[in-house]
Amino acid sequence: MSWRNRSRGQPRSSGNRLALTTPGLVAHFFRHEYGRLVSLLSCRVGVHNLETVEDAVQTAMLNALATWPRTATPDNPAAWLYQVARNELIGQLRQTARRQHLLHDASAAETAAAWLDADVHLQSEVQDELLRMLFVCCDDAIPLESQLVLALKTLCGFEIREIALRLFTSEANVYKRLARARDRLRQLPADFIESLNPAAGERLRAVQRILYLLFTEGYLSNLDEAALRRELCDEAIRLATLLADHPWGQVPETYALLALMHLHAARAGARQDATGGLLLLEEQDRSLWDRGQIHQGLAWLEKSAQGEHFSRYHAEAGIAAEHCLAPTFTQTRWANIVECYLLLEQAAPSPLHRLNRAVAVAEWLGPAAGLAVLDGFAPPPWLEGSHLWCAVLADLHRRRGDAVAADRYHALALGAAPTPAIQALLRRRLHHIAIPGGWSAGVP
């Protein structure tokens, strides 16, 4: 089965800007086919030719755009694109070789031509290539932020401006990150991809990390437009599913990673009200949670429960699962969540996890116990100045009856809110202190 058949059957509930689909083509056909073809061809002619490959695929798609509407969409559009891109690529490689009078390059071009003639449309092979390319992107000589941009460009088929929009940064910045990644790829030997050993654990961990980052960029992004965020989450799930289905990625950590993605994505649709305002966990209509996706997540979580290593993905998936399984906010098994946060702090120490544990403890044992978790804890400046820290402290102090401290943190939290939507949510939350129940919508 191909990955394209694997994408979830039901239509996305969140508004998709590219809802216009075409008979005979699956959703995101061009974008996903771009990633597939770039991977496939790069694996054949060497990743040092990445830019030439990308240009060839782009040209093939422009040809398709000019041809298909006039004739008809071919029976096998993917094969059509492959043929055109392949011819374009070989032409380019030959031209470069001729121009440079390099015998070596000329023979390389002919070798590539012979390679590319082989029938490569076996789906299993194509999955290999896409994953191989993903492993290439996660080179530890490439900075993490450049890896992310490279993956979005080559595997997900996003353009610079589309990446900038989704990562909430400038085009110049995306371009810089991409250039850094490409510099590194150009230095790699021609047979690098073939010699790559995906079984090496270090690189697999890097791949998991980049997929996690891709997902959280989508899930936690400050971006106002839900559909754009959702696309990043969908891409992360698509690639993680490929990884979990392939011998290279079949380890408990990958299953846990995929579980946590499903368990968060299942609830994404309920995070906003009709006007796009953010909703707290306790305000969300749980009937809007995608039960099918929760089941998928729980199935992956079950599969991840093997082996010796308890990863941060296990802990985070465990927390998400508890929320998904709770029939109401007040019936949440907070003790289990506190336990998971403790494990998460051990697996991946971060002051943010401690803050979240304080929130969970407050729900479980009351605000004083929650504050006690933070006793003697000096948060780093980035956290201390953030709306999350201030809002949690405002909430806990208010519930404990310390109005002075609560007011102080309240004002700080509002001032630090990064977007109007978050500010509105804080205002609502911090004014409704009479409602029992906790603060835990900020970070899953």
Partner 1 sequence: MPNYLCIRRSQPSQQGQPGNSEKPSPAQMEEMFAKFNAWREKFQKNIVDMGGRLNGVGKVLTPQGATDGPFVETKEVVGGFMILAAASVDEAAEVARQCPGVIAPGASLEVREIASP
Q: Quick check: helix, strand or coil at residue 123?
A: helix
Tokens 């070989």 label which residue? Answer: 90
Residue 272 φ then ψ, to 5°: -125, 145
Q: DSSP secondary structure string, 181-219?
A: HHHHHHHS-TTHHHH--TT-HHHHHHHHHHHHHHHHHHH
Q: How far apart are CA 285 and CA 272, in angstroms?
A: 10
267 with 284: CB under 8 angstroms?
A: yes
Shortest Å distance, C-beta 272 to partner 1: 23
444 belongs to the binding site for partner 1 (CB under 8 A): no
Shortest Å distance, C-beta 182 to partner 1: 17
Which listed range, 27-35, 82-90, 264-272, 356-364, lies at the site for partner 1 (CB under 8 A)?
27-35
290 belongs to the binding site for partner 1 (CB under 8 A): no
CA distance to 234, 297, 337, per residue, from 301 (Å): 18, 6, 15
15 belongs to the binding site for partner 1 (CB under 8 A): no
Which residue from 437, 223, 245 is spatially nearest to 329, judged by alpha carbons?
437
Near partner 1 by CB under 8 A: residue from 2, 13, 21, 100:
21
Residue 278 φ then ψ, to 5°: -75, 145
Which listed range, 56-64, 170-178, 198-206, 253-261, lies at the site for partner 1 (CB under 8 A)?
56-64
172 belongs to the binding site for partner 1 (CB under 8 A): no
Shortest Å distance, C-beta 22 to partner 1: 5
Shortest Å distance, C-beta 18 to partner 1: 6
22 belongs to the binding site for partner 1 (CB under 8 A): yes
95 belongs to the binding site for partner 1 (CB under 8 A): no
Number of residues that bind partner 1 (CB under 8 A): 26
Q: How far apart are CA 410 and CA 89, in angstroms?
A: 59
175 belongs to the binding site for partner 1 (CB under 8 A): no
3-state secondary structure 62-75: HHHHHHCCCCCCCC
245-264 footprint of partner 1 as x/- string (CB under 8 A): --------------------
Nearer to partner 1, 29 or 329 (CB): 29
Q: How far apart are CA 193 and CA 188, in angstroms?
A: 9
Which listed range, 158-166, 197-205, 252-260, 274-282, lies at the site for partner 1 (CB under 8 A)?
158-166
Report the interface residues with partner 1, using CB under 8 A.
Answer: 18, 20-23, 25, 28-31, 33-34, 58, 61-62, 64-66, 68-70, 157-159, 161-162
